[in-house]
Every structure is written in C-alpha cells, then in structure tokens.
Structure 1
Amino acid sequence: MPTPPGWYPDPGVPSLERWWDGTAWTAHTRMPGGGEEQGAGGARHGSGGGTAGGGKDGRNGGLLAVFAVGVALVVAVAVGVTLLGDDEAGTRPSATGGDTPPPSTPAAAEGGTGATPSGTPGQDATVLVDQLNGITLPIPDGWEIPRSTTDGNVTMSTTDTYECPGDSGRFCPWGRVTTRTVTDTDETSPRALAEQDISRAADTMYEENAVGDRLYGRIVSHTVVTSGPAVVANRSGYLVRWQVRTKHGPGGYVQSLVFPSARGSESPVVVRFAFDKGPESRTVPPGMMDTITEGIRPIGDVSGGVGSSIGP
C-alpha cells in the first residue's frame, strides 16, 4: 500500500518532521506539531515575507505556486485515501528514505550499534552456526551469541562477565570461543597451523584486541598445557593449549584448534578458545574446551546430540 503524503518524523533528525510526498522524502522539514517549515538549505516557508524579487508579479507568482501545490496535495491525498481504504495499521514511510517499507519494530529501525553482528538472527539457541565453514558448535548452558563483536568472527561467550583486570571501565566474559577460516598462508597441516596460531590467539585474547585495547595489560609468561591430534566434525585436526599469565589479573587458558572445513575446498578452520581464570565458582573449567570440541558437527549432522548434555 502506498503511504499517503504527510508530515512524519524525520529519519535523520527525530526532533523534526519531514514531508513525505507519497513516493519519497522531500527537503521540507518543520518542528513537530506544525512549527515553522524549512526547505532545502534551511530556507524557511510559510511565515510572512514576499518573494526575493518583490513586487506584484512576484506576489502573483507566489500565489499561483501555492495554489498549484495545494491542488497537487489534494489530489495526492485523495489518491492515497482511496488506495489505503480503511487501513488501520497506520503504515508509515521508511525511516531510511525512498519508498522502502519501514521496519516493523523500533529495534529494527535503530539498526544496532554499527558493530559486526555475530551468528545468525533467529537461529537455534543451542548451537553456534558457522555457515562459511559448514559447522556448528554446541552452546553450553550459561553461554550466548553476543549481539556484536569487534573482529567480525563467529563468536559465543559466557553470559556472566566481570570487570576487566586492566580497565575498570570495561567488562570481560569469563569464556570466549571464535571460529575463522585460515586464509593468510598456503600451509594446510593442522598441526603446523595450530602451533603457528596459538601465539596469535594468545595475543588477540590477552595482549591487544582487534580495536587496540589492552584489557589484561600484557602476557608475562605462558606454559604449554597440552597439544596433540583431535578428530573434529569427522576430520583429523590438531590442538595446542596454553596457560598464560598476564600483567593485570591471573590470566587464563587459550587454545587453537585447527581442522579442515566441512565444505568446499576444505580450507583449514581455526577455533580459538579463551577462558579467564578467577574464583573457582566463576572460572570456566578448561575441560569445557574438550566438551565443545567433541560437540562440533557438520551443518545438518545432529548425531551425538549437538547442543545437549553440556554442563554449566
């Protein structure tokens, strides 16, 4: 249904109203409730004064222009009312301009914060889906898919957070897991890639993140906890796990898990884990890395109960 011409909240400046001519937004704005109208470039209309040229001809020209506009508006409104009929839905013009239908909810109109969304809206809340690599990861109890991320990777994290040790104004989750495709090397060996990636994973999680923040100060030292082969989504992979100690706070555990993608050319996939240390009641046990790894499946394969039997 076309939206009838009229004054509606300005999509760019909510404190103003903008004229919708029935097909697109115009340059005319005004204060809500019928205040002084403004045209393109801030020119004001409708409150006294003559034309720039002055004189009788200018006044007659102005009257003719007003009359023409009035006739056009009457015709447009009549057409709009005829088409809309008894529509009580109150359809309004798009908040983004043009003739695109408006969002159905205020949340949709807000469009988020501009950060890259993580995961797929409306997906199963028990699994994290990586469409590019054709895999799903089980989401444990007490974990969630964050609304946005700083690096654009497919991510899940604990719902429980705490004040980051190196920045009192920020909050860190106790656990994070991200997936990404390895594209910056010709190496294909899962072992070689995992051994190369672990230091990068540690730096990304505990040194400086994607936006340049040092929430843990820096890594002071690390210890290799375990490394070895791992079968992931029916493919042979390899993992390396470190325990890191940081300048601020007790640090945590970080792991790089690499295996061939379940799709296409089977490009290597790396899953990075980071579990911060803290009070025993709050710390995610390192064993949860194994539980999540065992639950990784190709998309569409629910064998083994993807997303189930996962403890808190």
Structure 2
Amino acid sequence: MTPPPGWYPDPHAPHLERWWDGTAWTEHRRAPETAGPPVSVPVPAGGGSGRAKAVALTVAGAVLVAAITTGAIVLSGGSGSDGDATPADPSPTTYYTAAPPSPTTEEPDPVEEEDPSVVVDELNGITFPLPEGWVLPEYVTDHSVVMTTDGGTYDCPGDWGRCWHGQVRSRTVPSDGETPEALAKADIADAAEEVYGRNRLDQRPFGGITSHRQIAAGPVAVAGRAGYYVRWRVQTAEGPGGYVQSLAFPSTVGIGSPVVVRFAFDAGDDGPPLGDMDLITDGIRPVGDADTGGGVGTSVGPTD
C-alpha cells in the first residue's frame, strides 16, 4: 500500500510541499498554505503496510529535527558588550529526508482463468472436455452431474417432471479390488434405470424400460489408465428411449478408488450425437495434466 495522492513535505526541500500522485512524485511544488504541526504521510485505515508507516514516521521525524535544529541556532548566540544577544552565525541546517515512496515492484499473482471448454471434477481428480452443445449443469441438486445438453430441459414423456436430452455423471465407487471391466458391467443396469427406468423420486419419466441390447463394450484408455466401458441401447414405454454407457477406470487421486462415469443420451433427432460419448471419453484427463491421455488399452470405436 502507498500513501494516497496529496501535498506532502518535499523530501528534497522540506520548506516546500510537493504533489504525490499516489504512485510517484510529480514536479508540482508549493509553499505550505498555513503554518501548523508537521504533516505526516497518512497511513491507510487498518494499519497499512510496514513500508507506508516507515515513510510517514520518517517524514514527520525530518520536520521535527529541522525545527529543533533551527531553534538551537537562534538560542545559541553569544552576548555583545551592550549585553544584547548576538545572533549566531547562520549555518546550513541538516535535514534528514525520507526517500520518496515508490510503488511496489512485486506483481500480483496472475489469476488463472477458467477454460470454458473444460469441466473440472476436483472430487475425482479429472477434467472433461465440454463439446459444442453441452453446458455446465444449472439448477441441478445431484452433484454427480458434470454436464448437460444445452437448451435446458423438456417435459418428460412419462411421469410428470423435467428431462434432459443428454447428461454425464461422475462418481467414485467402493471397490474390493474389482477390475474396471467388472465394475462397468455391474453398473450399466443401474445407469440405465437411473435415467430411463425409475428415478430417485420414484418416478418413471419415460414410462420405464421395456428392453435393452448391448451395442458396444471393451477396454479403453482413460486419463492414461486402463479402463472399460459398456454401452446399451434402451427402449422405453414412452418417448424414443436412449443410449446409456458406464465407463470405469482407476482414479488418479487418493488411493486410486475407481471412478465410474455414466452417460445418458436420448435417441432420436433431439438427442446429442452418439459420437459425443467417444469424444468425452477420449478427452478425460487428470486435473492439472492436460497432456495425459491414451496409451493404454484401446480407443472407443464408432457404434450404431
């Protein structure tokens, strides 16, 4: 912190005042308008910095020393033959001047700007790419939802409620040493039921699942780790049904508890492109390491 703009004693000519613009001394000087007690550099409310206090105290001390020195010169003269006091020979007054304040040279730490094309999942230590047509979740109470399709919600075709055309969820799951393959295969039925069957509010937004078939499954590299995915096509009693995918892989943080990412895409023209599942899966990275990607397992391939 530095003193605010104003007139202060000139450190190089204390009998004058000089304008401080809040950053540096200017060339504007003037004689003090009124006599009064020494003017010190004001210290901002809250105490200010140690440097600002030192400048204020030093300037005040300089004025005080000047006054004492001048008084000593007047009172120290010898007596003449007529007994009148004889002024002492004037001598240069020594002033202890303060160096002019200078703005801090330390630059503030840069504020890291968030990348609008990346979703950060700090809990599970991963980031997701945010493809075109996808947004961060709004008005969502389920914290496992990391993104939804743009355009908001629509009236569910089954039970009353609001549905998304696409959503992606991420969560850490307990494990007793199961492989990503076993976790993905065990999770896919719950992933389908959560969105297209009976939800947590005991509603059936799509009238329930009438049938399903597996359309893809296999190993896949996720954030540099060996994962596994299973993808279903589900038919529902109401609406066009959809596609669900369970993707399991070891976490990149903590003790490596497995992470399961669930995808749910509506089928039909209103649903997001199925290729976005592949795009999002391929773009998952550990937090803070955008260069870590594939290299283990195989890539997710195109599906019908």
TM-score normalised by structure 1 residue count: 0.55
User: Residue 137 of structure 2 contacts residue 145 of structure 2 at CA under 8 Å; is this kept in 1?
Assistant: no
Hey, what's the Cα distance between the residues in 1 that align with 2:196 and 2:114? 30
Hey, what's the Cα distance between the residues in 2 that align with 1:205 and 1:126? 25
Q: CA deviation at 1:162?
A: 3.0
Q: Deviations over 1:35-59 (max 9, x none)?
A: xxxxxxxxxxxxxxxxxxxxxxxxx
Counterpart of 2:209 in structure 1 is 219
User: Residue 153 of structure 1 contacts residue 179 of structure 1 at CA under 8 Å; is this kept in 2?
Assistant: yes
Hey, what's the Cα distance between the residues in 1 that align with 2:255 and 2:225? 13
TM-score normalised by structure 2 residue count: 0.56
Q: Deviations over 1:134-192 (max 9, x none)?
A: 1000111121111242433142100124321114x533221100100002x42431000
Hey, what's the Cα distance between the residues in 2 that align with 1:217 and 1:123? 40
Secondary structure of the 1:239 match is strand
Hey, what's the Cα distance between the residues in 1 that align with 2:222 and 2:177? 19
User: Residue 145 of structure 2 contacts residue 167 of structure 2 at CA under 8 Å; is this kept in 1?
Assistant: no
Hey, what's the Cα distance between the residues in 2 that align with 1:171 and 1:134? 30
Counterpart of 1:162 in structure 2 is 154
Q: Closer, same or farther in 2 for the Cα pair 1:229/1:299, shift >3 Å?
A: same
User: Residue 182 of structure 1 contacts residue 268 of structure 1 at CA under 8 Å; is this kept in 2?
Assistant: yes
Counterpart of 1:253 in structure 2 is 243
Equivalent position amino acid for 1:131 in 2: E
Q: Closer, same or farther in 2 for the Cα pair 1:205/1:288, shift >3 Å?
A: same
Hey, what's the Cα distance between the residues in 1 that align with 2:114 and 2:170? 17
Q: CA deviation at 1:258?
A: 0.2
Equivalent position amino acid for 2:217 in 1: S
User: Residue 234 of structure 2 contacts residue 243 of structure 2 at CA under 8 Å; is this kept in 1?
Assistant: yes
Equivalent position amino acid for 2:284 in 1: I
How many residues are treated as equivalent by the alignment?
A: 181
Q: 1:135 aligns with which of 126, 130, 133?
A: 126
Gaps of 5+ in 1: 1-82, 84-121, 306-312
Percent identity over paired residues? 53
Hey, what's the Cα distance between the residues in 1 that align with 2:281 and 2:181? 16
Within 5 Å, which residues of 2 pair with 1:1-312? 123-160=114-151, 161-167=153-159, 169-183=160-174, 185-279=175-269, 282-303=270-291
Q: Deviations over 1:85-136 (max 9, x none)?
A: xxxxxxxxxxxxxxxxxxxxxxxxxxxxxxxxxxxxx953211111121100
Q: CA deviation at 1:210?
A: 2.3
Q: Which has the larger radius of gyration?
A: 2
